[in-house]
Amino acid sequence: MPELRRDVTRSEWVIVAPERAMRPLDFVQADSSNREEPSDGNCPFCAGNEHQTPPEILRIPNKGQWAVRVFPNKFPALQAQDGDDVEKPGSLYGAMCASGAHEVIVESPNHLATLADLTVAQITCVIDAYISRFAALSEDPRHSYIQLFKNHGKRAGASLRHPHSQVIALPVIPPAVGQRLDNARAYYDRTGHCLICNLLQEEFKAGARVVGENRGFAVWAPYASRFPFELVICPKEHAHDLTRMTAVQRKLLSCSLSDAMRRIQMVLGDVPYNLILNAAPTDSLVSANPENWKTLHKSFHWTFSVLPRLTYMAGLEWGAGIHINPMAPEQAAEALRKAHVT
């Protein structure tokens, strides 16, 4: 029977309707077109074509070559600039200078690699690049929020096959982020506890939606999953700032991310997905108004979301903001737990 579930972190409702898809195998996708797009030698992200990209911001070396490269996006959504807001008093139209940054993180020289293919050591290099750029962009006073994300597959928005992520520095806090921050702060003010920490405790008590864990990180399917096989990856101990991870913690995160992506690939094939970092506001924004963010380090807990794009957003999603998920997260988690990952 369909059920309306509420996500406490986002204040959103989701319809879980498992009758619309009877079993996990309904979502299995044969080798997608992603796997059938070898480089023709002109991919700007491939080794040997470094001259086709803007100058590097960061390079993580590996045995005389590079493991990860970071450079400005050639077609940025935002870029560094100074300007004033142009909204006029009483006007219904607001605008501001679109100042920010838009960078590309190339995750491997291998054109056909996926996160499921990379070793833990290679993923750790990617995590190191994430943290380095997140920390650097967070210091710019023009930036209020850093959004890091990965689009894998055309259906998830990827325009190039070569494995890469993107990071965009925004001059505002987006509404969806603001809602998560408000919910976390309200829960802390009411209970004195971190919402994610308590949510994680409840998930381990229930067990049905937990996919895996190691010493540092947990992976589970959210109670109100918006998409089939949606996952959350987060530190088991409270952490509001991912840049403070130790080398050991970075490796443990890489292990969890590798395990999660390999399980998804084993169960579903090479499916399109989005990987999204849910982070705190920038250090510069917090420092500019410390009183407004005085409980941030206690109330906020960073996470990664993995969103397989197995269903389409249609009228209800766009009109009402309510997703229909035809796969119960308990069933998805069970299928992923049973996947034989070596």
- Return the exposure string of 135-160: e unless at least 16 CB atoms fall within 10 Å of the residue's CB, then b: bbbbebebbbbbbbbbbbbbbbebee
State the pLDDT at residue 85. Answer: 56
pLDDT digits (tens, 9 = 90+) for 118-130: 999 999 999 999 9
Token pair in block for residue 165? 């992520």
Q: pLDDT exceeding 70 applies to what percent of the chain? A: 90
* Beta-carbon contacts of residue 330 (< 8 Å; ≥ 6 apart): 208, 209, 221
State the pLDDT at residue 99. Answer: 78
The residue ranges of every structural domain in the chain are: 3-77+96-338
**67 against 22, higher pLDDT:** 67
For the cut 80, the answer to whether the pLDDT of residue 27 exceeds it is no
Pairing of strands 303-308, 231-235: antiparallel
Token pair in block for residue 77? 């959504």
pLDDT digits (tens, 9 = 90+) for 94-119: 777 777 889 999 999 999 999 999 99
Contact 172, 145 (CB under 8 A): yes
Lowest mean pLDDT among 31-35, 161-165, 169-173, 260-264: 31-35
C-alpha 214/C-alpha 53 separation (Å) is: 38
C-alpha 120/C-alpha 132 separation (Å) is: 18
* Beta-carbon contacts of residue 146 (< 8 Å; ≥ 6 apart): 134, 137, 138, 167, 168, 169, 170, 279, 282
State the pLDDT at residue 119. Answer: 95
pLDDT confidence tier of residue 239, bands split at 50, 70 and 90 = very high
Classify domain 3-77+96-338 at the CATH topology level: HIT family, subunit A (3.30.428)
pLDDT digits (tens, 9 = 90+) for 51-98: 999 999 999 998 889 999 999 998 888 777 666 555 556 677 777 777
For the cut 60, the answer to whether the pLDDT of residue 35 exceeds it is no
pLDDT digits (tens, 9 = 90+) for 270-311: 999 999 999 999 999 999 889 889 999 999 999 999 999 998
Token pair in block for residue 326? 């035809």
Lowest mean pLDDT among 35-44, 56-65, 125-134, 250-259: 35-44
State the pLDDT at residue 33. Answer: 46
Q: Of 18-32, 95-109, 135-149, give the range with the top mean pLDDT.
A: 135-149
Quote the distance between the C-alpha of residue 183 and its chain's center. 19
Taking Cα atoms as reference points, which of 202, 178, 154 lies closest to residue 278? 178
Taking Cα atoms as reference points, which of 237, 322, 307, 314 lies closest to residue 273? 307
Instruction: Quote the mean pLDDT of the chain.
Output: 90
C-alpha 210/C-alpha 329 separation (Å) is: 10
State the pLDDT at residue 221. Answer: 97
**263 against 24, higher pLDDT:** 263
**197 against 17, higher pLDDT:** 197
Lowest mean pLDDT among 50-54, 214-218, 302-306, 337-341: 337-341
Token pair in block for residue 330? 């308990």
C-alpha 176/C-alpha 276 separation (Å) is: 13
Region 206-225: what's the mean pLDDT? 97
C-alpha 141/C-alpha 1 separation (Å) is: 50
C-alpha 93/C-alpha 103 separation (Å) is: 29
State the pLDDT at residue 224. Answer: 96
State the pLDDT at residue 36. Answer: 54
pTM over 0.85? The answer is yes
